[in-house]
Amino acid sequence: MKSIASNAYSTRSSEWIGDMTVWLRENGEDNHDQMLRLRRQLRAARERELTPRQRQFLTRYFDDGLSMREIAEEAGVDPSTVSRTLSRAKARLHRALQYAL
């Protein structure tokens, strides 16, 4: 009977994950062009699909890094309004971009 230590697969899981990450980086496909296309389409969809308020809240939250509470104070609304507006904006963008890839 073999001991566990002599098993070829007895490395720690973190070592295996690190090795897999290196392998994926070296052998994985380059998706740079796809990401560029998606970013262009996202910019266009933000302008075309969102209301001005949704655009404003989305920009303040994701681009400027403000919290929902900070956005709410700035806009004079309840934080739950900001949350609902962001959810609706993300759903609209998802629908607009779901076939982009």
Cα separation of 41 and 38, whole Å? 5
pTM higher than 0.75 for the full model? no
Cα separation of 50 and 84, whole Å? 14
What is the share, in percent, of the chain residues with pLDDT greater than 90?
A: 55
CATH architecture of the domain covering 12-97 = Orthogonal Bundle (1.10)
In the chain, where are the structural domains located?
Answer: 12-97
As given in the structure block, the two tokens for residue 86 are 């962001």
pLDDT higher than threshold 80 for residue 65: yes
